[in-house]
């Protein structure tokens, strides 16, 4: 078969994430945080929301506030990431928590893209 060539996808998906600043829901009562995800191509996105700033999440005192896995299309989407019990407890005692969102996206070809962002989750 002459002329048949398989085009391989070696480009990683570009990912951008942010914590939605204008979230109307009370996170502690609703049980979720809103995370905005932008993708350059369809991918499965693993999200992890950690307490603390970007530089502090590598320390021993950080813990997971929320996590989730989502199959998303190209473009910008806002997803609800379910809070952990520890996160609900912390949000009840504080008005807002500084958080860092870690995102890892894998497309159909197996290419990985990552992103990190910092924001605040309000009670």
Q: Where are the domains of the chain?
A: 15-122
CATH 3.40.50.2300 fits 15-122, yes or no: no
Q: Among candidates 115, 104, 117, which has minimal Cα distance to 43?
A: 104
Tell me the whole-structure pTM to 2 decimals. Answer: 0.84
Q: Tell me the backbone φ, ψ of residue 44, rounded to 5 degrees.
A: -95, 125
C-alpha distances in Å from residue 19, one per residue of 4, 36, 93, 96: 45, 6, 20, 13
Q: What is the pLDDT of residues 77-102, one digit of tens each?
A: 999 999 999 998 888 888 888 899 99
Angle at 73 between CA 68 and CA 76, to 5 degrees: 80
Q: What is the mean pLDDT of residues 15-43?
A: 84
HSE-up of residue 106 (Cα within 13 Å, Cβ side): 5
Query: Considering the chain, what percentage of its residues have pLDDT values greater than 70?
Result: 90
- pLDDT at 92 (0 to 100): 86
Residue 67: Cβ-neighbour burial (10 angstroms; 0-12, 13-18, 19+): middle
Q: What is the pLDDT of residues 49-83, one digit of tens each?
A: 999 887 777 777 888 999 999 999 999 999 999 99
- pLDDT at 36 (0 to 100): 94
Q: Is the pLDDT of residue 1 over 60?
A: no
Please answer whether residues 53 and 118 qualify as being in contact, where contact means their C-beta atoms are separated by less than 8 angstroms: yes
Q: How confident is the model at residue 22 (pLDDT cuts 50, 70, 90)?
A: low
Residue 115 DSSP SS3 = strand
Higher pLDDT, 4 or 27: 27
């Amino acid at each position: 078969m002459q002329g048949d060539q398989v085009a391989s996808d070696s480009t990683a998906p570009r990912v951008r994430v942010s914590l939605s600043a204008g979230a109307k829901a009370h996170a502690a009562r609703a049980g979720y945080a809103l995370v905005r995800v932008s993708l350059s191509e369809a991918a499965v996105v693993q999200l992890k929301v950690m307490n603390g700033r970007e530089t502090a999440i590598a320390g021993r005192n950080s813990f997971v506030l929320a996590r989730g896995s989502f199959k998303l299309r190209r473009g910008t989407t806002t997803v609800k990431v379910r809070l952990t019990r520890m996160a609900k407890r912390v949000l009840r005692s504080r008005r807002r928590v500084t958080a860092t969102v870690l995102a890892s996206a894998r497309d159909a070809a197996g290419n990985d893209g990552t992103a990190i962002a910092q924001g605040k989750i309000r009670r």
